[in-house]
């Protein structure tokens, strides 16, 4: 399986964790955790893993760990699978898939 790099924009200190949708090819997520001590990054990894149906160990922040805009590697995910999942997230009726 291949690895895929996606662009993610994270909004920390939200009212709850959730995927907001996709805009211009960038996955938009909101996390309740503050951007302190890596808490927002951990929440982001957990949320992306859930959204793509993969393990947290398969999600790695490759760039932008200290910024809102991040490059995230999805290990063991094919480009086609990633594109399909991003399209599904973009087309979600409420565009607010919340994490359990």
Residue 98's pLDDT band (boundaries 50, 70, 90)?
very low
Q: Helical H runs in the chain?
A: 39-52, 79-91
Condensed to tens digits (0 to 9), the pLDDT of residues 41-52 reads 999 999 999 999
Mean residue pLDDT across the chain = 91
Q: Which CATH number fits domain 4-98: 1.10.10.10, 3.30.1200.10, 3.40.50.150, 1.10.3720.10?
A: 3.30.1200.10
pTM: 0.88
Condensed to tens digits (0 to 9), the pLDDT of residues 10-42 reads 999 999 999 999 999 999 999 999 999 999 999
Query: Torsion over CA of 10, 51, 45 and 79, rounded to 10 degrees?
Result: -90
Query: Torsion over CA of 4, 100, 8 and 41, rounded to 10 degrees?
Result: -100
Indicate the length of the chain as a whole number. 100
């Amino acid at each position: 399986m291949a690895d895929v790099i996606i662009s993610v924009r994270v909004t920390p200190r939200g009212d709850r964790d959730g995927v907001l949708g996709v805009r211009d090819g960038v996955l938009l997520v909101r996390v309740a955790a503050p951007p302190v001590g890596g808490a927002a990054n951990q929440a982001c990894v957990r949320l992306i893993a859930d959204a793509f149906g993969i393990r947290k160990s398969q999600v790695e922040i490759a760039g932008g760990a200290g910024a809102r805009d991040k490059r995230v590697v999805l290990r063991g995910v094919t480009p086609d699978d990633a594109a399909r999942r991003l399209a599904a997230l973009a087309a979600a009726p409420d565009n607010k898939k919340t994490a359990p």
